[in-house]
A and B are shown apart, each in its own frame.
Chain A
């Protein structure tokens, strides 16, 4: 595709439910990032993949959050037992080498009721 694709664009769920957010990076990009953007804030780093492995997951807020990238392309961010405080826009970005410019997707807006 032409850019980073994220699905769904919007997700509404109930407190306590499990959700999965998908990111399809630019073809050939080895580095993939997840960020979370709360209302009125800048994006905050969650996790960075280089290839299939998580090179840095220091931004994941707790063990309810988990992300995978099994084949080094598509990534899924998984959130268990969602809480209202998880409501935010979740952004995915990719880059060709893991240094420098990152290309962002349009984001998934998660609302936990």
Chain B
């Protein structure tokens, strides 16, 4: 079965501290993974996708097929990073996204 697990519903760190949001997946096919973010009173938007291997707003995420993980990392958190973060898996062929439950990240001043 296809599944995305985000074990932390809430995560709180201080400004300037490193942050890591965990994501694990279960999928028999070749995984294509995304991180979506939802800032307060805004719509869900793409933060980054693993095939792009890019850094957006200082965030990076590396796909680890051995550990079936796609954790999101940022070395120095900023207050504007406070938001809801969702990890998502694209199901090939079906072209649908399977989302995790989300992690609410709060950056304390």
Contacts and interface: CB of A to CB of B under 8 A. Distances in A.
A100 B88 CA distance: 11
Nearest to A42: B99
Contacts of B99: 35, 42-44
Interface residues of B, number: 23
Nearest to B93: A56
Contacts, number: 56
Nearest to B84: A42
B102 A56 contact: no
Nearest to B6: A42
A45 B99 CA distance: 9
Contact of B95 (A35, A56, A59, A107): A56
A44 B4 CA distance: 12
B96 A100 contact: no
Shortest Cβ-Cβ A-B pairs, 4 listed: A42-B99, A104-B44, A45-B96, A106-B43
Interface of B: 4, 6, 9, 32, 34, 36, 43-46, 49, 86, 88, 90, 94-102
Given A33-B96, A42-B102, A48-B96, 11 more contacts: A33-B97, A42-B6, A42-B86, A43-B86, A98-B95, A99-B90, A99-B95, A101-B49, A104-B44, A104-B45, A105-B43
